[in-house]
Amino acid sequence: MIKKIYLPLMVLMTLAFVGCNKDMKPLSADYFTVTPSPLEVVGGQVPATVTGTFPEKYFDKKSVVTVTPYLVYADGETAGTPFVYQGEKVEGNNQAISYKMGGVVSMPVNFKYIPAMRKSELQLAFKVERGNKTYELPRVTVAEGVVSTAEIANVQELNPAITPDKFQRIIKETYSADIMFLIQQANLRAEQLKSEKMNALHNEINAAAEAPNKELTNINISSYASPDGGVKLNTTLAENREKNTVDYMKKSLKKNKIEADMTAEFTAQDWEGFQELVSKSNIQDKELILNVLSMYSDPEQREREIKNMSSVFEVLAEEILPQLRYSRITASVNVIGKSDEEISKLAQENPDSLSVDELLYAATLVKTNKEKADIYAKVVEIYPNDYRGYNNLGMVQYEEGDLAAAKANFDKAARIAPNTPEVAMNQGLIALSNSDYAAAEQAFGKSAGVNELNEALGVFYMKKGDYNAAVKAFGDVKSNNAALAQILVKDYSKAKATLAGVETPNANTYYLMAVLGARTNNEQMVVSNLKKSISMDSAKAQQAATDLEFAKFDISSLVK
């Protein structure tokens, strides 16, 4: 009798317990998908979309569920934006989930990337609220690991821009003087041969002949006649003016024992000179004269038409035509600068004796960055108002990885020359290194024409996650960064050719070749290139050990 009463009582108590327990049950990972999976770094972020399904007759009508994504890694975790869902009988503005039908939810997640996330789990945490009661469901792991290949983009492999010297070994100089003639005459007048300009020309010629660092390369004589006489008369005049001037210069050179090549030519009717002088003059009817010149190509007809304008011709005869009766003597001189050996020696022993351009040039003659930095430091000391010294010193410091010192010198250069493209380019590199993409973009916008800009823009676009723009910016550049952009857009054949063309392969070059091997399922390519990469940089072993690119391959012997 007692047993008959006990058994139904136990059943009722059990049913009552179950009926009162309104807690929602844990969900399995089968109810969730993640795109992409595994996760990938894009523009320094880890974005993904989690699609979840609440099954039929699961979601309690009076409950609110907060789902928080977490990226969990070895020494911590990062929480993402929570998503809130509610049952049918809850008043609120969150997405409602039907108890009977269930529902599908989409949760876009995003985490700022840190290297520890390479080996991580994407977990979903569930907090349930029903009235005054709050409880948590077990977390669900929906994805594992983060592909961080995009982070191989290396700002430090970019070349900063040098502000070049203007040093020229040979500087070409010219000196000239005119001998003026009277109308229809070709004789050289004494006052013309003793003019101030003619004396100055002779002095320059003599100095060039005597100076050890100068070379008199040529003396040219161009003789002219004004276009107000007939062609035959003017030809004779111009030819005689040339002959007399040449004879004069030959005697002068012989007297001073100077040897020089001499060339000569004459222009019988200097219509080009005439047109130039008229266009620059204040003659009232100059437009009329210029129209005549454009209407008639025959020299004699031009002359007749202009002479027919008697009032105009009188002005021309007084103001313009006398200026076209001359011989111009032009001396060409090469000024030969210091040799490389002289400049290098003076840069070490007596830098103050060098011009700023010679000292900047000296830095291009040495091999090591330390030697370059020493010379640029002297430029800054001796020529503190020349921005190029600061920029180029910063350039060397950037290449050596001292970004703080490089930034200080780039900023000094910018204060002296604020609109210099090379300096702006280098400031952009510093901003890019510090992930200050807004400042980098602004600086690169001021760097048009700088040779190094396209590569910098390529890395900038990769850091922003725009891989197609990066590929376009790199063009045909053969660099690790350019190959990485091609890998990220899955152009593996071009990436392989780019890496093969890298002039000085380093650990990153071979690491990217290993990534290419992994993506094309070539195990031998993975192993051989990882081995080379690790031999050049032991830190690559740890990087490879947690790199999901190599998850399908046995690289344990390389990374232990």
Dihedral, CA of residue 130, residue 131, residue 133 and residue 139, to nearest 10:
20
Q: Which of 76, 224, 147 is nearest to 515 (CA)?
A: 147
Count the neighbouring beta carbons within 10 Å of the beta carbon of residue 154. 16
Q: Determine what percent of the chain is predicted with pLDDT higher than 70.
A: 96
Count the neighbouring beta carbons within 10 Å of the beta carbon of residue 385. 8
Mean pLDDT lowest among 85-94, 386-395, 401-410, 551-560: 551-560
User: Which top CATH class is 170-336?
Assistant: alpha beta
Q: Which of 306, 271, 270, 267 is nearest to 286 (CA)?
A: 306
Give residue 141's pLDDT. Answer: 97
Architecture of domain 23-147: Sandwich (2.60)
Secondary-structure percent of the chain, ordered helix, strand, coil, rounded to 5: 50, 20, 30
Q: Name 335's bridge partners.
A: 171, 214
What is the per-residue pLDDT across 123-180, written as a single tens digit (0 to 9) for each?
A: 999 999 999 999 999 999 999 999 999 999 999 999 999 999 998 888 899 999 999 9
Give residue 1's pLDDT. Answer: 37
Alpha carbons 366 and 517: distance in angstroms, whole number: 39
Give residue 3's pLDDT. Answer: 40
The distance from CA 160 to its chain's CA centroid, rounded to whole angstroms, is: 8
Q: Average pLDDT over the chain, rounded to whole?
A: 91
Domain with CATH 2.60.40 in the chain: 23-147
Domain with CATH 3.30.1330.60 in the chain: 170-336
SS3 per residue for 35-101: ECCCEECECCEEEEEEEEEECCCCCCCCCEEEEEEEEEECCEEEECCCEEEECCCCCCCCEECECCC
Alpha carbons 85 and 94: distance in angstroms, whole number: 5
Give residue 443's pLDDT. Answer: 97
Count the neighbouring beta carbons within 10 Å of the beta carbon of residue 123. 19
pTM, entire model: 0.73
Count the neighbouring beta carbons within 10 Å of the beta carbon of residue 342. 13
Alpha carbons 54 and 45: distance in angstroms, whole number: 28
Residue 109 pLDDT exceeds 70:
yes
What angle separates helix 453-464 from helix 437-444, to the nearest 10 degrees? 150
Give residue 310's pLDDT. Answer: 57
Q: Which of 268, 80, 128 is nearest to 186 (CA)?
A: 268
Residue 4 pLDDT exceeds 70:
no
What is the per-residue pLDDT across 234-293, written as a single tens digit (0 to 9) for each?
A: 899 999 999 999 999 999 999 999 999 999 999 998 888 888 888 888 888 778 778 877
